[in-house]
Structure 1
Amino acid sequence: MLTHFQWKNLYSDKGLPGWNVSFYYQKQLYRAIYHPNGTIEWTGNKPLYEEEESLKGSIHELMLYHVYDDK
């Protein structure tokens, strides 16, 4: 389970898509860039291969809720 999920716009022009995201998973801090096409680029620690797809799915769900459904 992800905890302390945070996101903020990547650019000062909030009309441009792209977001910095950060969260904790199993007491480890992860940071990434969430691109407009849904691609996730890890900028810090990268999760284990076995956990990466599950984490990406959780990030997608949270971004849909916080960014896209919030409009």
Structure 2
Amino acid sequence: MIMHFQFKPLYENKNIPGWNFSFYHKKQKFTGIYHQTGKIEWTKNLPEQDEIETLTSQVHELMLYHVYE
């Protein structure tokens, strides 16, 4: 389960899509870049292979809810 999800624009010009995000999962901090295409670039602590699909899906849902709503 993702906790303390945060995001902020990647660029000063907020009309350019792209966001930095961070969250905690199992007491470990994860960070990444969410690109306009929906591609996620993990920048700190790549999730374990068996969790990457679930966490990627949860990040997509949170970004859709917070950014594109």
TM-score interval, smaller chain: over 0.9
Q: Quick one: percent identity of the two aligned structures?
A: 57
User: How many Å separate the matches in 2 of 1:2 and 1:38?
Assistant: 18
User: How many Å separate the matches in 2 of 1:61 and 1:67?
Assistant: 10
Q: CA deviation at 1:51?
A: 0.1
- Counterpart for residue 11 of structure 2: 11
Q: Please tell me whether residue 51 in structure 1 is matched to residue 51 in structure 2.
A: yes
Q: How large is the RMSD of aligned CA atoms in angstroms?
A: 0.3
TM-score normalised by structure 1 residue count: 0.96
SS at match of 2:32: strand
**Structure 1: unaligned runs, 5 residues or longer:** none
- Counterpart for residue 28 of structure 1: 28
**Structure 2: unaligned runs, 5 residues or longer:** none
User: How many Å separate the matches in 1 of 2:65 and 2:45?
Assistant: 24
Matched residue count: 69
Cα deviation, 1:10-56, whole Å, max 9, x if unaligned, reads: 00000000000000000000000000000000001100010000000
User: How many Å separate the matches in 2 of 1:53 and 1:32?
Assistant: 15
- Counterpart for residue 65 of structure 1: 65
